[in-house]
Amino acid sequence: MKPRFGEALAAVGVVLAFVLLWGAVAHFEWVSAVFLPGPLATAEALRDGLRQGELLPLLLQTVERMVYGWLLASIAGVLLGALIGTSAALRAWVQPTLELVRPLPASALMPLAIALMGLSQSMVLCVIAFGAVWPVLLATVHGFAAVEPRLFEVGRVLRLSRAAFIWKVGLPNALPDVLGGMRLSLTVALILAIVGEMLASQSGLGTAIVQAARSFRSADLFAGVALLGGVGLASNALLALLEGRLLRWQRP
């Protein structure tokens, strides 16, 4: 418990040091207040936006897009990854295609998606799912490919179908890789949700941040960015908690 408490205390100390440095830069106006508000001004803008403004509804819309896109990416990534990971021949066939498509940034493909689907919510959702599927897919393929070969022999001896082997044997062994990929995917989904809102003019935090930047409302801009950081931190912490619960059997 003591090492964990010390690590948590050190993390809080780093955050406080960053806030103090930020406050000093804003107080002495080393950067103009038009572009860099102080921590107090940002906190006030965040409080007012959540209590009186439209910040909370916009936040909920962004989180909804992120979660839906992440769920689609997770389901598709796990299903495809399980099929590819349990077949050496299939891995050999599709690996070149995966390596060709994987490096393509989803944000760069957004103009193509806009041309095909228009400025719609479904377009943003598809882009989020496309960009977020790769961490899950590749992690799942690696997890299933790393299953002990003798377990495949056990599955054949027990006459397990491929679906039964994946569910009862393969998935429990690949679960650490799958959950790690899902955590990375969640971060990608949040980023693409914001980019999609900015480019497609969909209601959400991304649009609010762009509007604040264009009207030089720096406090509102930083409040939106801080809120996004809180969403990323909270979602990662929730998924880490779920991962710890699901992987309790790995602990000695």
pLDDT for residue 251 = 60
Question: Whole-angstrom Cα distance, residue 204 to residue 194?
Answer: 8
Q: Which residue spans within the chain are E strands per DSSP?
A: none
Length of the chain, please?
Answer: 252
pTM, 2 dp: 0.86
* Amino acid type, 8: A
**Which candidate, 21, 45, 27, 14, places its Cα nearest to that of 222?**
45
Q: Which own/partner contact pairs does 47-50 have at CB distance under 8 Å and 24+ positions apart?
A: 49/220, 49/223, 49/224
pLDDT for residue 66 = 92
Query: Tens digit of pLDDT for each residue in 32-87?
Result: 777 888 888 888 888 888 888 788 888 889 999 999 999 999 999 999 998 888 88
Q: In the structure encoding, which two tokens stand for residue 228, read together?
A: 């996004």
Enclosing H/E stretch for 212: helix 205-214
- Over the range 70-95, which residues count as b (16 or more CB within 10 Å of their CB) and which as e? bebbbebbbebbbbbbbeeeebeeee
**Which candidate, 151, 149, 136, places its Cα nearest to that of 69?**
136
Question: Whole-angstrom Cα distance, residue 174 to residue 14?
Answer: 35
Residue 5 has pLDDT above 80, yes or no: no
pLDDT for residue 111 = 78
Judge contact between 224 and 212, C-beta under 8 A.
yes
Q: In the structure encoding, which two tokens stand for residue 129, read together?
A: 């799912």
**Which candidate, 200, 233, 231, 213, places its Cα nearest to that of 62?**
231
Q: In the structure encoding, which two tokens stand for residue 35, read together?
A: 């572009």
**Which candidate, 17, 56, 23, places its Cα nearest to that of 42?**
23
pLDDT for residue 2 = 52
Confidence of residue 105 (pLDDT cuts 50, 70, 90): confident
Fold of the domain spanning 34-250: MetI-like fold (1.10.3720)
Query: Tens digit of pLDDT for each residue in 185-218?
Result: 999 999 999 988 888 778 888 888 888 888 888 8
Question: Whole-angstrom Cα distance, residue 98 to residue 134?
Answer: 9
pLDDT for residue 49 = 83
Question: Whole-angstrom Cα distance, residue 218 to residue 132?
Answer: 30
Q: What is the dihedral of CA 217, 219, 225, 227, to 10 degrees?
A: -120
Distance of CA 80 to the CA centre of its chain: 19
Query: What are the structural domain ranges in the chain?
Result: 1-30, 34-250
* Percentage with pLDDT > 70 across the chain: 96
Query: Tens digit of pLDDT for each residue in 129-155?
Result: 988 999 999 899 988 888 888 887 877
* Amino acid type, 6: G
* Percentage with pLDDT > 90 across the chain: 14
Residue 252 has pLDDT above 70, yes or no: no
